[in-house]
Structure 1
Amino acid sequence: MEYKSRSASISKVFQYFQPSQQESAQTLSESNLIDTLRTDFYSSIRTQLSENHPASIEELQNLIQNLYAFWFSYKDYVGKDPTIQLEHVQQCFWSLCRRHLPLDQIRKPLFAYLKKILSLWSENESNSYLGLEDFFHLCERLRQLGLASELKETFALSLKDHVQTLLYERYGSQWDYGVYQEAAEWIRSELTLLVEHVSFLSTASVHSQLDQLVSKLLGRLRSDSIFDIVLEYPRSSGAIEDLRLAARQPEQRQYLVERFMSTCEKSILRPSKDTSSILVFYVSTIRCFLALDPPGVLLDKAVKPIRTFLNERDDTSKSLVYLLFSKSKNGLSSELAKIPASNVDAASDRNDYLKWMPDPIDAAPDFRKPTDKDIIASLISIFKSKETLIKELQLLLADRLLQITDYNYDHESKNIGFLKYRFGESTLQMCNVMLEDIRKSKSIDEFIHGRKDVSPVFHATILSRIFWPNLVVRPFRVPKAIQEELNKYAASFSKKKNKRELVYLQNLGTVELEITLEDRTLDLSVTPEQATLISLFEESLTLRLEDAAEKLDQSVDIVKKHINFWVHHQVLTLVKDDVYGVRETQQEAAIVDTVIEDEPASAVQSQAEVAGSEMRVYWSFVVGMLTNLGSLELERIHNMLTMFIPPPNGYNRTQNELREFLALMVKEDKLEFTGGAYKLK
């Protein structure tokens, strides 16, 4: 027998075994060449492995086939020699495969192949084994070559990708009911047999692994959509149930919160978003996360950026108060009607210490477990001080009461009653007086109309002036017929109230009008100013803007807004420059005049308007400083006002209030702001 050098390939080495495997193995053993053969075998395998870089599944299958043939050729020739430790050789061979095979390059075609197999398996529902013979042979050979771990690892990745696709396609937008159990059973029925074949695990173990995979992937699927789930809640309550069952591990819960916060930053916590929509989203977030995690740990983390953003907005208190009184689907009247837990008899909670539970492990250091599910309390806690919120509450209540035309204030009265649980009776004393004024106004109105001295369509709301916020008062010349009714009403009131007098706020109120034109009739609710303006066209078919302003005894700018209202409703039309006429028919030609109807103005001055009005008393001092000293910075103006304005009108404003006032003066074109200093224009 001849023996070639170690560089010869193992296939050539096998050619020299004659006449039988057993005799050849014995000859090698007697010649002390077994170790030489083994070393040559290892070297040949190492060389072939290093030179192979499979880029497709076909190339990979050829490589595995060659390795398989090499191993069994060697095993068949030398395996019968009792002196050869075949198991040791096999372990070395496996080590060579794992060490020198380009595993990273192998995994890519194997991953693609396994995904294809999984799809084929799912598609062939009647016979899942159809067309998979090559796959089963490949799995068996990989195991015999010691690559079972690589097979399992790559199969696990492809299985995860496949299950993720299945869950997304079937349950991605299914939010109205929970699908966790259904999905787990479905994936079991789909993939158990195939996973058993690859992993050689028991059915129970495979079920456990598939359940864990479904839990993880369904939790991730729902977490990726958490922002939209919150938007759709409670219609998305099924998705919340899935998250409650699937997202149990700390890392899953952390991912859920981070995903939610990240999407909030991009989608809703933006300057372009109005505050009311953010508040509505915040309320939905509270409801949604408490359903998901009743202890409130996730909620505590998720809402921090929302609370910070709302706290920094100037109109948050105004928007919140509006929602508290709103009857719309996004309003909070129903939540406000829930009596807070702090006002409920504490006897039912006296044994709560027996129910004590430690905070969850993923709770933040500053976490405070919610004592109840009070959404209103959570909203109120956004503000560091309740004073601003109470002022906005007074303004809104005044505005709503002034819009009432039938003295029915039950909705407002109930809401104020509920708010007393939050702020206390004394804090809302001003609101109580306003409500009482409406009640007394109704009684007085019934008395006056009982005497039948006044037109039955004329009614008034009588205010205790010092208990109401500052109102927007804008006098104008009232039509003679209306003035007569006002005088009659005032006279009857004087008789009822021991000669007390009424002072009318002429621009406040509502007038119900029926406008009859040639081809249509309009029923509109308008302001007294708008009603007076349109009544001028009873005397003349056309009217100049300046003439209308003179007749109303108001500025041209104010009258132009009244005219714009009627142009918008196609009652008036622009005839020529600053001349308007009645539009009797809708087909009537008109000069195009771009009109944007103003938002209905509130009868109550906002806090910013009140502050601006109050700050104007210091304007003359500011003018004097800037005239004598030239440009001045904000801080110096503030210090000089504090120093030189004596009591009783001493300057006691903050620097921020002064900054806002000076910004208003810049807007009114009275000041310039350059280089951080203010100067007169």
Structure 2
Amino acid sequence: MATAALRSQVAAKWHESFSRLNRTEPGITGLISFSQAWNIATEYLHPRDITDPMAVKKPADLASVKVAFDMINRSRRLPVMLETFLDDICNQYHLITRDIQKYLAQYEESGDTTVMLRLVFRLVEWFRAWSPIDELGPTIRGAYTLTFQTQLFSILPPGFVAGFKALCASTLVPVAQHTPEMWDAFEVLGLTDRYEGIIASVGYERIEEYVRETCTGKWDKPCLEGLRAWMTSQIVPWMLPMYAKGAVNTEDARGMLQNVGSRFDFHMNKTLCDLRTSEIFDIIIDFPDSMGALQDLKECLQRVDQRASLVQALRKANRKRLLHPGADTKLILTQYVATIRCLRIVDPPGVLLFKVADPIRRYLRERPDTIRSIVANLVGDDDSGDALVDENEPIQPLQQLEADDYNDPNWDPEPIDAGPDFRTNKPSDVISTLVSIYDSKDLFVKELQVLLAQRLLAITDDNFEKVEKERRNIEILKIRFGEAALQVCEVMLRDMTDSKRIDGHVQSQKASIVHPTIISRHFWPSLESSDIVMPGQFQALQTDYAKEFSTFKPDKKLRWLPHLGTVHLELQLEDRTIEADVPPLEAAFIELFSDKNVWTMDELVAGVGAVDRTAALKALITWIDLGVLKEDQENTFRLLELQEEAAPAARTAPAAIEAPAVSAAQQQQADQMRLYWKFIEGMLTNLGALPLDRIQTMLRFAPGYDQTPEQLAAFMEAARREGLVVGRDGMWKLNR
């Protein structure tokens, strides 16, 4: 049972509601009028099927509609009526779903983006057909728009997004004539805000495509200026309807596009930076013809923070393509120097170079011929024509690292991404950078002395002017290494001049065909010693020359190094004369054959002193190849006074043919080459097909390898006959 108070409260609420709806009209006249107004308003707002001609809303008397809405508003029932209207929208949305499915089915079948455009315009028709009149105020229209868009986004299938993106892309190339109407429709339906990321991705993808089309592999000229001009002519007009809607002049449009334009410019810089990062190894190889790409990369890195990606990409490319046993040391040094020059353009402080160069420097430090390659380039001993040092660079002393001077008013702090070991005042010239691979320049000075000694000892009387060339090189190197470091080289050069003068005096006293190079052994690098004793006329020539030298220099004594130098021989045989320039050991062996025609290996070795049998076999093979000697039996050699013709090929049945017997000398050479087959097999497995000169270069790293390219070619040919390798167009690869 309700209490009297509750009954009184309910009665008061009822009378208050009745009075509000009846509006103090007599009886229930006001309530009847409210009911009529409610029916007029709900009938006007009810969402109808625009595809059914019979259900299309008939023109209504807007005056009576406005009166009805005004009565409902004064009765404070407008929120209830709006809730009813929005419920009707949700209940009738299956009509829009039906149209969406129909249009999407047509698009998936044809792939025509105009179908998607018709779908968008159709959705706008539904939106406007169900929209309340403006006179109802922004609250009702806002509630309707929110409900319509919410329902729309909830029923759109996944295929709509792909079609919508394709529609946006179709308006970009070329800019379509219907673009303004399409963007207005997107705005009405809320698609612009909902799919802003997808719309922007269309522009991003077009930028990426254009950058790859126009900039890939084109490094001679900068591309950024042309890309920005293309953005102004192609991308900006496409952006205006979406991002600068309502702009009345150019200044308004520029202000509206400032933020979004900055995003698109950033993406263009990022795309170009990614492209140049992927090409950086080849860009460095192509330097200086790739200067334009480096300038672009420098500007892009100032806009896009991708320095770490550049370092990682270049280090990875170096490990894969450069820092491996198949790469020649000279090639690694050339690429390193190009890397130094390129990264100094991209990043003048040198942080990127410091991070990229560290693995290269550690790898070069482990290579045994790095110092020799650098020194050979310094003294002009490199015949490849690809110098590490730019001739236009000024010659300057080696630069050493110095401590930071914090009292210097021009001092700058290190870059933020510099590591703890980085120093901004790293050596600026290439030579100082190369020498800094090692902790001390003394290693380079010693290697320079060894190389200079080899070059000086190779100079003959016919080209003695090369001594002056070496003197000029030393004068240039004094600027880099200092006077004190090259004093020994000065003594070596003076010895060459004195040797020429001494030889001239000896020749004036007693003419001789011997022209030795006389050096001061305390100032020259240690030369390889040998126990060779030159036999016959060579011994007599040395003795006569030493006697005349002692007469001229009584306080000095000659110590011959007969294994060094070159001997020009003219062999007079019965049917022919052979001229050859050979090392002293070859000359010593053939001199012994002037006493008798047949010698054994042991007799030959005893006749010239204690020499290694391998070196002896190699020396004898020289005369065998020239057709002067022949190995009749194992370790027995005979002088061929009469040249022997090659035996004619025997005709045999197509059965197994035994290989001819190989002489002991040839067998020794073959056995030695087989020791290096594992090296050859490994490099062909890891690196694929290689030319002969590349194999020869890499084999030099094998311990004890001393074969000539001709001997290597013969070995590879033998391996081909055995089915181990395949040779085609000068390239050798394993026979799989």
**Same-fold call, TM > 0.5?**
yes
Listed one character per residue, the Cα deviations across residues 498-557 of structure 1 (whole Å, up to 9, x for unaligned) are: 152211111111234678999999986532223444566778888765565454443431
Q: Does 1:281 align with 2:340?
A: no
The whole-number CA distance in structure 1 between the counterparts of 2:542 and 2:156 is 101
Specify the alignment match of 1:448 in structure 2: 506
Identify which of 39, 42, 58 aligns with 1:19. Answer: 58
Q: How does 1:174-323 map to 2 (within 5 A)?
A: 174-197=218-241, 199-200=243-244, 205=257, 211-249=265-303, 251-323=305-377
Identify which of 69, 75, 78 aligns with 2:128. Answer: 75
Identify which of 620, 633, 645 aligns with 1:563. Answer: 620
Per the TM alignment, residue 395 of structure 1 is displaced from its structure 2 partner at its CA by 2.7
The whole-number CA distance in structure 2 between the counterparts of 1:97 and 1:77 is 13
Structure with greater Cα Rg: 2
Tell me the secondary structure at the aligned position of residue 473 of structure 1.
coil
The whole-number CA distance in structure 1 between the counterparts of 2:644 and 2:315 is 56
- Tell me the amino acid that sits aligned with residue 505 of structure 1: L
- Tell me the amino acid that sits aligned with residue 379 of structure 1: L
Q: Does 1:530 align with 2:586?
A: yes
- Tell me the amino acid that sits aligned with residue 447 of structure 1: H
Unaligned runs of 5+ in 2: 1-38, 650-659, 674-702, 704-736
Q: Does 1:465 align with 2:513?
A: no
Per the TM alignment, residue 493 of structure 1 is displaced from its structure 2 partner at its CA by 1.4
Q: TM-score, normalised by structure 2?
A: 0.66
Listed one character per residue, the Cα deviations across residues 230-289 of structure 1 (whole Å, up to 9, x for unaligned) are: 122223223222222333236133322221112112221224434333222212211121
Specify the alignment match of 2:553 in structure 1: 497
- Tell me the amino acid that sits aligned with residue 86 of structure 1: R
Instruction: Summarize the Cα distance change of 1:266–1:108 in structure 2 as closer, same or farther, 3 Å threshold.
Output: farther
Instruction: Summarize the Cα distance change of 1:187–1:19 in structure 2 as closer, same or farther, 3 Å threshold.
Output: closer
Instruction: Summarize the Cα distance change of 1:559–1:62 in structure 2 as closer, same or farther, 3 Å threshold.
Output: same
- Tell me the amino acid that sits aligned with residue 495 of structure 1: T
CA contact (8 A) 2:116 2:164 kept: no
Instruction: Summarize the Cα distance change of 1:110–1:369 in structure 2 as closer, same or farther, 3 Å threshold.
Output: same
Per the TM alignment, residue 571 of structure 1 is displaced from its structure 2 partner at its CA by 7.5
Listed one character per residue, the Cα deviations across residues 617-659 of structure 1 (whole Å, up to 9, x for unaligned) are: xxxxxxxxxxxxxxxxxxxxxxxxxxxxxxxxxxxxxxxxxxx
Q: How does 1:108-127 map to 2 (within 5 A)?
A: 108-112=162-166, 118=172, 121=173
The whole-number CA distance in structure 2 between the counterparts of 1:380 and 1:303 is 13
- Tell me the amino acid that sits aligned with residue 519 of structure 2: L
Per the TM alignment, residue 27 of structure 1 is displaced from its structure 2 partner at its CA by 10
Paired residues in the alignment total 582
The whole-number CA distance in structure 2 between the counterparts of 1:109 and 1:275 is 56
Instruction: Summarize the Cα distance change of 1:82–1:158 in structure 2 as closer, same or farther, 3 Å threshold.
Output: closer
Specify the alignment match of 1:41 in structure 2: 89
Specify the alignment match of 2:467 in structure 1: 409
- Tell me the amino acid that sits aligned with residue 228 of structure 2: A
Specify the alignment match of 2:655 in structure 1: none
- Tell me the amino acid that sits aligned with residue 296 of structure 1: G
The whole-number CA distance in structure 2 between the counterparts of 1:567 and 1:434 is 38
- Tell me the amino acid that sits aligned with residue 561 of structure 2: L
Tell me the secondary structure at the aligned position of residue 248 of structure 1.
helix
The whole-number CA distance in structure 2 between the counterparts of 1:183 and 1:81 is 47
Listed one character per residue, the Cα deviations across residues 279-304 of structure 1 (whole Å, up to 9, x for unaligned) are: 22212211121222222222222212
Specify the alignment match of 1:510 in structure 2: 566
CA contact (8 A) 2:340 2:430 kept: yes
Per the TM alignment, residue 431 of structure 1 is displaced from its structure 2 partner at its CA by 3.4
- Tell me the amino acid that sits aligned with residue 616 of structure 2: V
Superposition RMSD on alpha carbons, in Å? 4.8
The whole-number CA distance in structure 1 between the counterparts of 2:271 and 2:124 is 40
Per the TM alignment, residue 469 of structure 1 is displaced from its structure 2 partner at its CA by 2.7
- Tell me the amino acid that sits aligned with residue 557 of structure 1: T
Give the stretch that moved more between structures: 93-102 or 505-514: 93-102
Identify which of 396, 401, 404 aligns with 2:451. Answer: 396
Per the TM alignment, residue 497 of structure 1 is displaced from its structure 2 partner at its CA by 1.0
Specify the alignment match of 2:216 in structure 1: 172
Q: How does 1:336-375 map to 2 (within 5 A)?
A: 338-340=395-397, 353=408, 355-370=410-425, 373-375=428-430
The whole-number CA distance in structure 1 between the counterparts of 2:612 and 2:442 is 36
Specify the alignment match of 1:637 in structure 2: none
CA contact (8 A) 2:96 2:126 kept: no
The whole-number CA distance in structure 1 between the counterparts of 2:164 and 2:603 is 88
Q: Does 1:376 align with 2:376?
A: no
The whole-number CA distance in structure 2 between the counterparts of 1:177 and 1:587 is 63
- Tell me the amino acid that sits aligned with residue 504 of structure 2: E
- Tell me the amino acid that sits aligned with residue 402 of structure 1: L
Instruction: Summarize the Cα distance change of 1:81–1:194 in structure 2 as closer, same or farther, 3 Å threshold.
Output: closer
Instruction: Summarize the Cα distance change of 1:477–1:166 in structure 2 as closer, same or farther, 3 Å threshold.
Output: same
Give the stretch that moved more between structures: 539-548 or 84-93: 539-548
Specify the alignment match of 1:606 in structure 2: none
Instruction: Summarize the Cα distance change of 1:79–1:275 in structure 2 as closer, same or farther, 3 Å threshold.
Output: same
Per the TM alignment, residue 429 of structure 1 is displaced from its structure 2 partner at its CA by 4.0
CA contact (8 A) 2:307 2:352 kept: yes
Q: How does 1:73-112 map to 2 (within 5 A)?
A: 73-80=126-133, 82-83=135-136, 85-98=140-153, 101=156, 106-112=160-166
CA contact (8 A) 1:25 1:78 kept: no
The whole-number CA distance in structure 2 between the counterparts of 1:237 and 1:586 is 62
Instruction: Summarize the Cα distance change of 1:334–1:233 in structure 2 as closer, same or farther, 3 Å threshold.
Output: closer
- Tell me the amino acid that sits aligned with residue 252 of structure 1: Q
- Tell me the amino acid that sits aligned with residue 20 of structure 1: P
- Tell me the amino acid that sits aligned with residue 75 of structure 1: R
The whole-number CA distance in structure 2 between the counterparts of 1:90 and 1:586 is 107
The whole-number CA distance in structure 1 between the counterparts of 2:278 and 2:499 is 57
CA contact (8 A) 1:22 1:78 kept: no
CA contact (8 A) 2:278 2:313 kept: yes
Instruction: Summarize the Cα distance change of 1:464–1:334 in structure 2 as closer, same or farther, 3 Å threshold.
Output: farther
Tell me the secondary structure at the aligned position of residue 530 of structure 2.
coil
The whole-number CA distance in structure 2 between the counterparts of 1:523 and 1:334 is 43
Per the TM alignment, residue 227 of structure 1 is displaced from its structure 2 partner at its CA by 1.0
Q: Does 1:434 align with 2:492?
A: yes
Listed one character per residue, the Cα deviations across residues 191-214 of structure 1 (whole Å, up to 9, x for unaligned) are: 444444555476754876665444
Instruction: Summarize the Cα distance change of 1:402–1:146 in structure 2 as closer, same or farther, 3 Å threshold.
Output: same
Listed one character per residue, the Cα deviations across residues 72-92 of structure 1 (whole Å, up to 9, x for unaligned) are: 334334432622622342244
Per the TM alignment, residue 110 of structure 1 is displaced from its structure 2 partner at its CA by 4.2
Specify the alignment match of 1:156 in structure 2: 200
Instruction: Summarize the Cα distance change of 1:302–1:391 in structure 2 as closer, same or farther, 3 Å threshold.
Output: same
CA contact (8 A) 1:10 1:41 kept: no
CA contact (8 A) 2:221 2:293 kept: yes
CA contact (8 A) 2:512 2:541 kept: yes
CA contact (8 A) 2:396 2:479 kept: yes
Instruction: Summarize the Cα distance change of 1:555–1:139 in structure 2 as closer, same or farther, 3 Å threshold.
Output: same
Give the stretch that moved more between structures: 232-241 or 190-199: 190-199
Per the TM alignment, residue 382 of structure 1 is displaced from its structure 2 partner at its CA by 1.7
